[in-house]
């Protein structure tokens, strides 16, 4: 991913969703829930609007129409252009006016995001040439065949290149949108929005775990263990201890993590510790040594090393950047 600079004081970031009939309502709802108004409990860092190629009623796949009054010119001052899916018959082409508008927005510096099948619109505009991209696992083969210069990854939940981002299907759109909030305004702000949505602020794993319909037995669920671990971030926990807690062998536990989350137990736990570190740096004045003990990283030296490996910056620089952003 091309790193975006840490945010500074700015006006609200304008997100405009480009609707294409028949519009899929779920990815649109995911974007609305993340970038829309959350009331006084969550600071408003974004404004959210919609547009379409031909203003007026926009047919949806849910059996009702959406009245959209803005046309493609709304993309001209968008900071983020978001395409929440494109439902098309086989072989259909993205309208040339849409391709041109999306391309112009990208060239002037807007971030362009495709949720689910919205990746087809970004690919048609040439924004994914030579790049990894995500889409719904059921559409990955079609995307790769139609746009051979795109490196389609059928497994990931999302791919973010900084200026362009794509997500897998359905709820992965919310994962990507929360990731963008986290990159723009920090982990604590993303956590506030996730709490309003009653969903995890960060979901690991890959969409291939959903591509095959047979579900694992309930006894194989990691949810109880993950909840237990999240309550004990301040304590060292080994894979062996996790296995004992789950009443399985360490090898079986590691296999379940890989199958259900796409990462190892140690990686999952470290990611949670880094996320907790980010929130404490953003929201408290605690010294790094104290934060290290609270998140289970033992010492300031270890925390700084792990933090730099994960984010390519130091805890002090991260705190300064997000404190400045909050003051602005």
Task: Name the residues annotated as catalytic.
Answer: 116
CA distance 254 to 251: 5
CA distance 154 to 10: 36
Of 32, 38, 2, nearest to 16 (Cα)? 32
**Which DSSP state fits 30?**
H
Residue spans of beta strands (DSSP E) within the chain? 13-19, 46-52, 56-59, 65-68, 80-84, 111-115, 132-133, 151-152, 158-160, 164-167
Please provide the size of the chain in residues. 328
Q: Classify residue 111 by burial, with Cβ atoms within 10 Å: 0-12, 13-18, 19+.
A: buried
CB proximity list for 102: less than 8 A, separation 6 or greater: 18, 75, 81, 83, 112, 121, 122, 125, 127
């Amino acid at each position: 991913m091309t790193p975006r600079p840490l945010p500074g004081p700015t006006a609200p970031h304008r997100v405009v969703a480009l609707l294409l009939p028949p519009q899929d309502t779920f990815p649109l709802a995911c974007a609305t829930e993340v970038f829309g108004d959350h009331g006084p409990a969550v600071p408003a860092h974004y404004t959210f609007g919609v547009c379409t190629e031909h203003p007026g009623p926009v047919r949806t796949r849910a059996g009702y129409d959406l009245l959209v009054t803005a046309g493609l010119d709304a993309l001209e001052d968008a900071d983020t252009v978001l395409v929440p899916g494109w439902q098309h018959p086989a072989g259909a082409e993205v309208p040339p006016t849409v391709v041109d508008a999306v391309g112009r927005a990208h060239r002037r510096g807007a971030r362009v995001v495709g949720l689910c099948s919205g990746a087809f619109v970004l690919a048609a505009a040439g924004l994914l040439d030579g790049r990894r991209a995500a889409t719904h696992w059921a559409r990955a083969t079609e995307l790769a065949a139609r746009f051979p210069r795109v490196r389609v990854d059928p497994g990931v939940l999302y791919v973010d290149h900084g200026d362009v981002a794509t997500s897998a299907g359905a709820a992965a759109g919310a994962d990507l949108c929360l990731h963008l909030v986290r990159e723009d305004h920090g982990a604590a702000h993303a956590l506030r929005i996730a709490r309003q949505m009653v969903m995890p602020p960060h979901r690991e794993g890959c969409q291939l775990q959903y591509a095959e319909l047979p579900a694992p037995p309930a006894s194989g669920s990691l949810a109880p263990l993950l909840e237990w671990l999240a309550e004990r971030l301040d304590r060292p926990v080994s894979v062996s201890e996790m296995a004992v807690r789950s009443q399985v062998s360490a090898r079986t536990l590691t296999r379940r993590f890989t199958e259900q989350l796409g990462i190892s137990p140690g990686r999952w736990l470290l990611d949670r510790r880094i996320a907790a570190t980010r929130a404490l740096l953003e929201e408290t004045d605690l010294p790094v040594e104290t934060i290290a003990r609270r998140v289970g990283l033992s010492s300031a030296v270890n925390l700084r090393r792990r933090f730099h490996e994960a984010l390519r910056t130091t805890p002090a620089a991260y705190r300064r950047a997000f404190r400045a952003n909050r003051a602005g």
